[in-house]
Amino acid sequence: MENLEAVLQDAAAKMDRSRVVLKEQFAGLRTGKASPALVENVQVIYYGTPTRLRDIAGISTPEARLIVINAYDPTALHDIEKAILAANLGVTPMNDGRVIRVPIPELSEERRKELVKVARRHAEDARIAVRNIRRDANDLIKKLQKDGKISEDERDQALNTVQHNTDGHIGKIDADLKAKEQEVMAV
């Protein structure tokens, strides 16, 4: 990185990306209702190549507790069924030869608490990623100052900006976690 502006923009973009990844992970956590996000990123071995389920099948939720998967290639139904079972989502797919139906059972209190723990683990991983991005950006800023490309005042201001971005992103991650916990624990 040659200049300070590029370092700050890169750090902010990476922090935003870590939050996007967290939201994708949260979408894959099963709540009490059916959601295509639960299965759309399941990796299916399709003709020897790992492929996301959403790329080889249409996924719909005709009822609140049912996901219907309609494979574009009917010969892939068995592979899709195996992949859903292997993903350990806590659901059992039913293959009728044309479509796969995935009924979503009611969550027990114990299972809800386990899902909250998983959500907290994902959130902590996102916080760690944001802190690592902060550390890397701070190192680059200090290197720019050491190389004489920016002044000490600019360095201090940039470090404060990075810390402010970090605090903001961690606050948003905490808010996302709280919302997901409430969604999972709602009966």
CB 53 within 8 A of CB 40: yes
Specify the CATH number for the domain of residue 66: 3.30.1360.40
Q: Which of 103, 120, 147 marks a domain boundary?
A: 103
* Pair 147, 113 in one domain: yes
* Pair 136, 153 in one domain: yes
Q: Which of 59, 79, 103 marks a domain boundary?
A: 103
Number of domains in the chain: 2
Residue 83: domain span: 36-103
Q: Which of 50, 69, 103 marks a domain boundary?
A: 103
Phi then psi for 28, rounded to 5 degrees?
-80, -10
H-run or E-run covering 119: helix 109-146
CB 105 within 8 A of CB 32: no
* Pair 117, 178 in one domain: yes
* Pair 20, 51 in one domain: no
pLDDT tens for the chain, 187 residues long, are: 578 899 999 999 999 999 999 998 888 776 667 788 888 888 999 888 999 998 999 999 998 889 999 999 989 999 999 998 888 777 889 999 899 999 888 878 888 888 889 899 999 999 999 999 999 999 999 999 998 888 999 999 999 999 999 999 999 999 999 999 988 887 6
* Pair 174, 114 in one domain: yes
